[in-house]
Amino acid sequence: MQGNIKVFMLMAALIALVMALGWMLGGSGGAVIALLIAGGMNFFSYWNSDKMVLRQQGAVELSPAQGGDLYALTADLARRAELPMPKLYLLPTEQPNAFATGRNPENAAVAVTQGLMRALSRDELAGVIAHELAHIKHRDTLIMTVTATMAGAIAMMGNMMLFTGGREGRGGALGSILAMILAPMAAMMVQMAISRAREYEADATGAAICGQPRALASALQRIAAAAGRTVNLPAEKNPAAASMFIINPLHALRADKLFSTHPPTEERIARLMALDGRAAAPAATAPSRIPRSGGPRTPWGRG
């Protein structure tokens, strides 16, 4: 509940930023127009964002026959989560990672990378898929689409300040310059804060869906350790989608926490291990120290 309240307040802050910039551009009428423009952008994103993201990442849809055991595992976890079976996609990159997208549970998709299939055990893979199903269950994919669109609208209006300056807008030239610089930065920080809040919730719900918090913790360690060593070219070309992945796919992994799209992996693991009722997990730099939770000893993709 506290997490939902925080997300609501952060999204309200984004709406306030949109209206403030609209007011600076055109007074009270500008505030209303800005809100309508942001609403139109959200409507377009609501219907098309999932297709755009999957196309950008080079995702290939898997049929039940093509998906094999992966499809069966996802279907079983979806049943446990009381969700419709999402579409399943494979991403042609060796970086272990995954994300979920879609406007609602009835029109959702889960995408996993080739590297994820090779790097994880079956239990760890189940934890990752359960985490993505939790995003679908919480409708986080819609929340993140709306916040990304609002942030984009704010950045667009900030750039418009270049043309209005102090001639037409409110606040004068200095106010326009400050808004042009600070508003997009504030929107980005709010968007990232929302993303971090949703990751904690998805970890907890995902652990409940798969029934093995330790397996998800182990998966997060392995993915985080590998993500910094493997370049995900589609993600690097489309960094706006970075917040959708279970672990930051970009190589700015040492960025300041204020500008991070994900919570610290160590903190996520600590929370999962607390759910497991055991001692805290070791640092993410030593993934092999977490024992696997009953799954095959060889990685999922190697039989």
* 132 noted as active-site residue: yes
Other C-beta atoms closer than 10 Å to the C-beta of 286 total 11
* Contact present, 281 and 296 (Cβ < 8 Å): no
Q: pTM of whole model > 0.85? A: no
Task: Identify which of 105, 107, 103, 97 has the alpha carbon closest to the alpha carbon of residue 128.
Answer: 97
Helix orientation angle between 172-210 and 2-56, rounded to the nearest 10 degrees = 90
Catalytic-role residue among 132, 168, 199, 236: 132
pLDDT in tens, the chain (303 residues): 554 565 566 667 777 777 777 777 767 777 777 777 777 776 777 777 788 889 989 999 999 999 999 999 999 999 999 999 999 999 999 999 999 998 889 999 999 999 999 999 999 999 999 999 999 999 887 777 777 777 767 777 766 666 655 444 555 555 566 666 666 677 667 767 777 778 999 999 999 999 999 999 999 999 999 887 888 888 888 777 787 899 988 864 444 444 566 888 999 999 999 988 754 444 443 333 333 434 333 455 444
Residues in Cβ contact with 222 at an 8 Å cutoff, skipping those fewer than 6 apart: 96, 119, 120, 124, 287
Helix ranges, 165-231 (H) = 172-210, 213-227
Distance CA 227, CA 173 (A): 44
Rounded Cα distance, 60 and 91, in Å: 6
